[in-house]
């Protein structure tokens, strides 16, 4: 089976655990295949944890979960050195961050101090504890979940840190059909999560990365991308436009998306498919504009034509 | 109203806010002329419309709207007493403008309302053409245009004041065109006259005078006229602006001779030999709704259309309803009417019998003691000077039977008209021909542009006495009582009693003592003079003169040519700039071909949405028009290959694909 087929089966496999959310699953996989961290924002009980767990399982990666609380300290994530009485030395006990997929559940419940410890790990792929730098396993993904910020007792992530997540996804309520299927499954006593099969080997994951970088980007696509980015920087509706990192993230994700769709080149739809997930959390509407990031993405997509006119 | 409306036809929230703001702004300059309840109507309609927007009220039904319209008519009739005339009509328009807000359902209604707003912008000029009002009208113009622009903005826009920037810019761009139209648009005479003269519209000195008239006028700080002298400005004490000559004392009031009272031989002005050097000046008069013009003694108009009367005044055959500028030359030293006709002598000596016996007796006694008429005049003036007469803006009321007896012997407090009245009565009682002259005295010299500003409070009445060998001689009895009035002006003369402009505490004239206020006022007045004489005064005649100077004789083709050429001169650069900026760079051939495909699909009823990518569009076509699916897929695939894939780099393959695409498009879909 080729890699694309393996990806399709991974999507299908996760789909057995999280019903009726194929679009979000594809985007989440796209994010991980592009080596990016994922932020899932939704109300409790929408399947955020299920999705992240299932993703780790189908990719065959080690998985740890940290429930973020307001009294969580950086050491609780990174690990501590403990004095060993037998040989009179300090032994490092690695924290949950030493894993391949880390689920940071409700990341906005913890203090900025702990958040930033995690964010350093995300950006660098390594952590520094007591002056010693330790590399994290490869690949290293953080899947963070977040409650909508207007709930009480939360520390919303600042824009600069949101930018470190390649994508932000909303899951939303399942459609009635999928929900009924889910209800039936639980009454039958099945646990779909337990039965998940690994679909991609680490080698395939690595070659996927290589194949993605081979995807062709035509001049007109770059042109379209640049016009989209320029739009966010020029128009009054945007307080903060897309950064160069944001533009790069768009291109990366569009490449992976094209690859997942068995294409050797990017077409504008690829950009449009990932646009909302990649751009919405990086855009800040100006004070005069009533809409949020998603409204801005809509505005971008409506206003910038694929063909320059 | 239970109509269902497409979203596109609803009025955005912002536009509604701007419309309401501009309604109030348009109402504001008329407030002084309108009944107070109109403001309540505006508030009520605005609140109502906002409640409708919030869904807490509904639009008025047909019956209620009809009722409101009738109520508007009735209320205006009750407030003004009639429905015709300028002010009631303007009030009607403004009421309708407010009620229209309650019919503001669709975009179409908003257009009607805003275009009406543009009309209301200019209505203020029917009442005043003041510079400040012009600036205010420009401001309202921007507001109304902002409402118009807001109608076309996305409905999720928040309200912000910065929205006026774009409309202001648009109006600024229209400015050159406005200038062209100002200079060239034909000044068509009015097709009908606006009935301006409703109540109290006449201003200035009126054509009869009772004691108390001029002191009332002196409460006003308004400008009556402005004068620009060629050469030096004569001293203040020489500035007696004659407007009216009162020769008839009738039922306690002085009035001029009516035209039909003049015998045939007295209609023309007696011949005069001008003496001394003339003063040349031009007078810019504000509308008075009266006929008489103001000038210094012995004036000859330098333009046609101004008549000279037999008592040496200037007279306009049409009432002055707009501001008027006229040039005059005056010879102050000229003797007037050295020979007095018998009719004239008799007229200027007439006194109604049985009135003021004590005054007559006093006059005759003083005449007996004097050697001649001139000595008698001196004696009367000495009487005014030496007896305890007081010059005041607040004279006591006089009884109607013998007002002068009461004034001369009891109250002895009076304003200029009292002194002029008493003086002329005494002269006539003693057989010396005399008459009252009314007009303005003095004026304020504006150092900024050397104009003389004559205010209403400069209104004055004095006397003229006919002396053998000298003709009519000006005698100002007020000067005998209060020399300050003539030398320094009214403000100084009544400084002690604090009655100067007592009813207008905010008038900048009251603060002449504060240096910068005064300077600001004078500068603004100079600006007003320029504005009034160059812009407001640019009428059909001026326009004709300008065009004649520029282009020689004016024939229709020349005029049309000038209009078109100057319009083009203004608009072409703008058009060129716009076109240059808009022209898109040439599209690559495959994109042009794809747009051609989109056009073909559009004709078949499926339009590519803004921002829709070719792939998504292809899928939509497959859904909406399965018959076209095959063709559309084919085109999309080929375009996709050409535009986005790696293979498109090879020239040969590229050309081939391009030809293929072209062929596909030419052939069109093969619909079975």
Compute the distance between CA of residue B533 and CA of residue B514 in angstroms, rounded to an integer: 29
Would you call B496 an interface residue with chain A, using a CB distance cutoff of 8 Å? Answer: no
pLDDT confidence of B3, banded at 50, 70, 90?
very low
Count of CB atoms situated within 10 Å of the CB of A274: 27
For the range A191-196, what are the long-range contacts, defined as Cβ-Cβ under 8 Å and sequence gap of 24 or more? Answer: A192/A16, A192/A17, A193/A17, A193/A50, A193/A53, A193/A54, A193/A57, A195/A16, A196/A13, A196/A14, A196/A16, A196/A17, A196/A54, A196/A57, A196/A58
For the range B603-609, what are the long-range contacts, defined as Cβ-Cβ under 8 Å and sequence gap of 24 or more? Answer: B604/B628, B609/A302
More confident residue, B250 or B63: B63
Residues 6 or more apart in contact with residue A56 via CB below 8 angstroms: A62, A63, A100, A101, A103
Total residues found in chain A within this entry:
309
Please determine, for residue B238, whether its predicted confidence score (pLDDT) is greater than 90: no
Compute the distance between CA of residue A270 and CA of residue A179 in angstroms, rounded to an integer: 29
Give the whole-number percent of chain B exceeding pLDDT 90: 16
Residues 6 or more apart in contact with residue B640 via CB below 8 angstroms: A267, B614, B615
- How far B571 CA lies from chain A's nearest CA (Å)? 26
With CA atoms as reference, the chain B residue closest to A287 would be B158
Compute the distance between CA of residue B592 and CA of residue B383 in angstroms, rounded to an integer: 104
Q: Which of A266, A289, A309 sits opposite B644 (nearest CB)?
A: A266
Q: Mutating which of A220, A307, A308 best tests the B interface, going by the most B Cβ atoms within 10 A?
A: A307
Q: Mutating which of B163, B586, B589, B644 best tests the A interface, going by the most A Cβ atoms within 10 A?
A: B644
Are A269 and B644 an interchain contact pair (Cβ–Cβ within 8 Å)? Answer: no
* Nearest-10 crossing angle of helices B629-644, A219-234: 90
- How far A263 CA lies from chain B's nearest CA (Å)? 9
- Chain B contact set for A258 (CB, 8 A): none
Total residues found in chain B within this entry:
672
Per-residue pLDDT tens for B150-208?
888 877 677 888 888 989 998 988 888 888 888 887 777 656 555 554 444 456 677 77
List the 153-182 stretch of B: residues with Cβ below 8 A of A. Answer: 156-158, 160
Give the CA count within 13 Å in the CB-facing half-sphere of A109: 16
Per-residue pLDDT tens for B644-668?
887 666 788 888 888 888 888 888 7
- How far B165 CA lies from chain A's nearest CA (Å)? 14
Are B611 and A291 an interchain contact pair (Cβ–Cβ within 8 Å)? Answer: no
Q: Output the DSSP codes for B560-577.
A: HHHHHHHHHHHHHHHHHH
Compute the distance between CA of residue B524 and CA of residue B557 in angstroms, rounded to an integer: 42
Q: Which of A295, A306, A308 sits opposite B614 (nearest CB)?
A: A306
Are B327 and B285 in contact by the 8 Å Cβ rule? The answer is no
- Chain B contact set for A239 (CB, 8 A): none
The distance from CA A75 to its chain's CA centroid, rounded to whole angstroms, is: 24
Would residue B121 show up in a list of annotated catalytic residues for this protein? no
Tell me the mean pLDDT in the region B311-336: 86
List the 628-647 stretch of B: residues with Cβ below 8 A of A. Answer: 640, 643-646
CA distances from B298 to B281, B348, B439 (A): 13, 19, 14
Are B528 and B228 in contact by the 8 Å Cβ rule? The answer is no
Question: Measuring CA to CA, which residue among B324, B321, B284 is closest to residue B305?
Answer: B324
User: pLDDT averaged over chain B?
Assistant: 83
Tell me the mean pLDDT in the region B3-22: 74
Are A272 and B614 an interchain contact pair (Cβ–Cβ within 8 Å)? Answer: no
Would you call B190 an interface residue with chain A, using a CB distance cutoff of 8 Å? Answer: no
Please determine, for residue B275, whether its predicted confidence score (pLDDT) is greater than 70: yes
**Dihedral sign from CA coordinates of B631, B635, B640, B645:** positive
Per-residue pLDDT tens for A243-299?
898 999 999 999 999 999 988 899 999 999 999 999 888 888 887 777 777 888 888
Tell me the mean pLDDT in the region B582-602: 81
What are the tokens at B668? 């069109």
What are the tokens at A265? 């080149």
Q: Which of B157, B158, B644 sits opposite A267 (nearest CB)?
A: B644
Per-residue pLDDT tens for B346-364?
888 888 888 888 888 888 8
Task: Tell me the sheet residues that pair with B4.
Answer: none
Q: Between vectors from CA B73 to CA B70 and to CA B77, what angle results, nearest 5°?
A: 140
Catalytic-role residue among B30, B416, B418, B458: B416
**Dihedral sign from CA coordinates of A263, A265, A266, A269:** negative
pLDDT confidence of B582, banded at 50, 70, 90?
low
What is the per-residue pLDDT for B12? 83
- How far B584 CA lies from chain A's nearest CA (Å)? 7
Task: Tell me the sheet residues that pair with B325.
Answer: B284
- Chain A contact set for B613 (CB, 8 A): 267-269, 272, 306
Q: Which of B157, B611, B640 sits opposite A305 (nearest CB)?
A: B611
- Chain A contact set for B657 (CB, 8 A): none
Would residue B416 show up in a list of annotated catalytic residues for this protein? yes
Question: Measuring CA to CA, which residue among A153, A143, A147 is closest to residue A118?
Answer: A143
Indicate whether this model's pTM tops 0.90. Answer: no
Q: Which of B588, B611, B615 sits opposite A301 (nearest CB)?
A: B611
Q: Can you tell me which residue has the tokens 């990192």?
A: A245
What is the per-residue pLDDT for B510? 67
Are B422 and B359 in contact by the 8 Å Cβ rule? The answer is yes
Are A114 and A73 in contact by the 8 Å Cβ rule? The answer is yes
Per-residue pLDDT tens for B22-81?
999 999 999 888 889 999 999 999 999 999 888 888 888 899 999 999 999 999 999 988
Compute the distance between CA of residue A278 and CA of residue B375 in angstroms, rounded to an integer: 108
Question: What is the Cα Rg of chain A in Å?
Answer: 20
With CA atoms as reference, the chain A residue closest to B584 would be A309
Compute the distance between CA of residue B438 and CA of residue B207 in angstroms, rounded to an integer: 9
CA-based max dimension of chain B: 130
Question: Measuring CA to CA, which residue among A72, A68, A33 is closest to residue A48?
Answer: A68
Q: Which of B156, B614, B644 sits opposite A291 (nearest CB)?
A: B156
More confident residue, A46 or B295: B295
- Chain A contact set for B640 (CB, 8 A): 267
What is the mean pLDDT of each successive set of 10 residues along chain A, which is 309 residues long?
Answer: 81 86 90 90 83 87 88 87 84 88 87 85 84 85 80 75 87 87 76 76 84 88 91 85 90 92 90 90 80 83 81
Q: Mutating which of A215, A218, A228, A238 best tests the B interface, going by the most B Cβ atoms within 10 A?
A: A218
- Chain A contact set for B161 (CB, 8 A): none
- How far B98 CA lies from chain A's nearest CA (Å)? 29
Would residue B373 show up in a list of annotated catalytic residues for this protein? no
Are B131 and B531 in contact by the 8 Å Cβ rule? The answer is yes
Q: Between vectors from CA A109 to CA A107 and to CA A113, what angle results, nearest 5°?
A: 75
Residues 6 or more apart in contact with residue B288 via CB below 8 angstroms: B202, B203, B204, B224, B319, B320
What is the per-residue pLDDT for B7? 46
DSSP B535: I
Q: End-to-end alpha-carbon separation of chain B, Å? A: 48
With CA atoms as reference, the chain B residue closest to A264 would be B645
Q: Can you tell me which residue has the tokens 């407007």?
A: B243
- How far A215 CA lies from chain B's nearest CA (Å)? 9
- Chain B contact set for A287 (CB, 8 A): 158
What is the per-residue pLDDT for B19? 93
Count of CB atoms situated within 10 Å of the CB of B250: 11
Q: Which of A220, A272, A303 sits opposite B644 (nearest CB)?
A: A220
What are the tokens at B567? 């319009």
Minimum mean pLDDT among B127-141, B408-422, B479-493, B566-580: which range? B479-493
With CA atoms as reference, the chain B residue closest to A266 would be B644
Are B613 and A267 an interchain contact pair (Cβ–Cβ within 8 Å)? Answer: yes
Are B156 and A272 an interchain contact pair (Cβ–Cβ within 8 Å)? Answer: no
- How far A163 CA lies from chain B's nearest CA (Å)? 25
* Number of alpha helices (DSSP H) and beta strands (DSSP E) in chain B: 23, 18
- Chain A contact set for B615 (CB, 8 A): 267-269
What is the per-residue pLDDT for B58? 87
Q: Which of A265, A269, A302 sits opposite B616 (nearest CB)?
A: A269
Tell me the mean pLDDT in the region B568-591: 78
Per-residue pLDDT tens for B92-136?
999 999 999 998 888 888 999 999 999 999 888 888 778 888 899
ipTM of the complex: 0.83
Would you call B572 an interface residue with chain A, using a CB distance cutoff of 8 Å? Answer: no
List the 203-262 stretch of B: residues with Cβ below 8 A of A. Answer: none
Tell me the mean pLDDT in the region B202-215: 72
User: What is the helix (H) or strand (E) element at residue B225, kind and residue range?
Assistant: strand B223-230
Question: What is the Cα Rg of chain B in Å?
Answer: 37
């Amino acid at each position: 089976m080729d890699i694309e087929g393996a990806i399709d089966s991974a999507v299908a496999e996760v789909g057995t655990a999280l019903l009726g959310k194929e679009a979000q699953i594809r985007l989440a996989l796209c994010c991980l295949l592009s080596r990016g961290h994922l932020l899932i924002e939704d109300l409790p009980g929408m399947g955020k944890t299920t999705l992240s767990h299932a993703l780790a399982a189908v990719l065959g990666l080690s998985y740890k979960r940290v429930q973020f609380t307001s009294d969580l300290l950086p050491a609780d994530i990174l690990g501590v050195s403990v004095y060993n009485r037998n040989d009179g030395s300090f032994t490092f006990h690695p924290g949950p961050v030493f894993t391949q997929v880390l689920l940071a559940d409700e990341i906005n419940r913890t203090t900025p101090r702990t958040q930033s410890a995690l964010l350093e790990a995300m950006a660098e792929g390594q952590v520094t504890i007591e002056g010693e730098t330790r590399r994290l396993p490869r690949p290293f993904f953080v899947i963070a979940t977040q409650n909508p910020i207007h709930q009480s007792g939360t520390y919303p992530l600042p824009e600069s840190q949101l930018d470190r997540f390649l994508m932000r996804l909303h899951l939303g309520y399942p459609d009635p059909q999928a929900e009924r299927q889910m209800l039936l499954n639980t009454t039958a006593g099945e646990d779909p999560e337990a039965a998940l099969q690994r679909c991609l080997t680490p080698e395939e994951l690595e070659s996927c990365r290589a194949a993605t970088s081979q995807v062709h980007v035509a001049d007109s696509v770059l042109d379209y991308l640049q016009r989209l980015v320029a739009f966010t920087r020029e128009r009054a509706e945007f307080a903060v436009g897309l950064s160069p990192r944001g533009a790069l993230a768009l291109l990366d994700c569009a490449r992976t998306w094209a690859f997942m769709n068995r294409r050797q080149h990017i077409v504008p739809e690829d950009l449009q498919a990932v646009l909302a997930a990649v751009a919405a959390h990086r855009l800040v509407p100006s004070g005069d504009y009533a809409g949020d990031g998603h409204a801005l993405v809509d505005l971008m997509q409506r206003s910038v034509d694929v063909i320059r006119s | 109203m239970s109509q269902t409306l497409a979203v596109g036809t609803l009025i955005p929230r912002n536009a509604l806010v701007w419309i309401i703001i501009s309604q109030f702004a348009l109402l504001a300059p008329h407030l002084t002329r309108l009944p107070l309840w109109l403001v309540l109507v505006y508030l009520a309609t605005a609140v109502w419309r906002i409640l409708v927007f919030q869904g807490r009220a509904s639009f008025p039904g047909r019956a209620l709207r009809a009722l409101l319209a009738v109520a508007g008519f009735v209320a205006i009739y009750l407030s003004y007493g009639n429905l015709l005339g300028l002010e009631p009509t303007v009030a009607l328009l403004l009421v309708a403008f407010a009620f229209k807000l309650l019919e503001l359902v669709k975009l179409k209604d908003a257009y009607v309302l805003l275009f009406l707003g543009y009309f209301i912008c200019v209505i203020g000029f029917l009442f005043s053409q003041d510079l400040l009002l012009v600036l205010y009208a420009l401001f309202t113009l921007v507001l109304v245009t902002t409402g118009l622009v807001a109608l076309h903005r996305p409905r999720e826009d928040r309200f912000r004041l910065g929205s006026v920037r774009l409309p202001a810019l648009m109006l600024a761009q229209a400015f050159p065109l406005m200038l062209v139209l100002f200079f060239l648009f034909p000044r068509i005479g009015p097709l009908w006259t606006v009935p301006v003269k409703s109540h109290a519209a006449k201003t200035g000195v009126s054509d009869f005078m009772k004691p108390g008239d001029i002191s009332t006028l002196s409460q006003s700080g308004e400008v009556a006229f402005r004068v620009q002298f060629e050469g030096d400005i004569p001293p203040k004490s020489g500035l007696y602006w004659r407007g009216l000559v009162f020769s008839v004392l009738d039922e306690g009031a002085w009035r001029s001779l009516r035209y039909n009272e003049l015998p045939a031989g007295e209609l023309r002005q007696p011949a005069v030999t001008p003496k001394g050097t003339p003063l040349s000046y031009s007078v810019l008069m504000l509308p008075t709704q009266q006929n008489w013009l103001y000038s210094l003694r012995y004036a000859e108009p330098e333009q046609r259309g101004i008549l000279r009367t037999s008592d040496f005044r200037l007279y306009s055959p049409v009432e002055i309803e707009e501001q008027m500028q006229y040039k005059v030359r005056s010879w102050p030293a000229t003797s007037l009417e050295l020979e007095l006709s018998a009719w004239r002598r008799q007229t200027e000596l007439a006194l109604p019998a049985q009135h003021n016996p004590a005054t007559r007796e006093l006059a005759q006694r003083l005449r007996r003691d004097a050697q001649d008429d001139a000595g008698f005049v001196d004696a009367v003036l000495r009487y005014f000077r030496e007896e305890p007469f007081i010059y005041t803006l607040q004279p006591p009321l006089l009884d109607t039977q013998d007002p002068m007896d009461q004034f001369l012997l009891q109250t002895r407090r009076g304003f200029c008209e009292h002194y002029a009245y008493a003086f002329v009565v005494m002269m006539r009682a003693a057989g010396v021909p005399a008459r009252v002259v009314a007009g303005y005295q003095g004026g304020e010299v504006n150092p900024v542009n050397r104009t003389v500003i004559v205010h209403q409070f400069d209104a004055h009445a004095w006397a003229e006495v006919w002396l053998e060998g000298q003709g009519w001689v000006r005698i100002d009895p007020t000067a005998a009582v209060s020399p300050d009035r003539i030398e320094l002006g009214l403000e100084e003369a009544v400084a002690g009693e604090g009655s100067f402009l007592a009813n207008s505490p905010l008038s900048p004239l009251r603060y002449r003592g504060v240096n910068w206020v005064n300077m600001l006022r004078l500068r603004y007045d100079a600006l007003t003079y320029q504005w009034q004489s160059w812009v407001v005064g640019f009428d059909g005649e001026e326009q004709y003169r300008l065009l004649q100077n520029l282009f020689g004789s004016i024939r229709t083709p020349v005029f049309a040519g000038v209009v078109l050429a100057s319009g083009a001169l203004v608009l072409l650069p703008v058009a060129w700039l716009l076109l240059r900026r808009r022209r898109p760079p040439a599209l690559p051939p495959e994109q042009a071909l794809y747009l051609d495909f989109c056009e073909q699909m559009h004709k078949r009823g499926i339009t590519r949405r803004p921002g829709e990518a070719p792939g998504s569009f292809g899928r939509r076509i497959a859904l909406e028009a399965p018959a076209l699916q095959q063709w559309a897929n084919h085109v999309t695939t080929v375009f996709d290959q050409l535009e986005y894939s790696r293979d498109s780099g090879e020239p040969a393959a590229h050309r081939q694909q391009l030809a293929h695409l072209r062929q596909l498009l030419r052939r069109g879909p093969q619909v079975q």
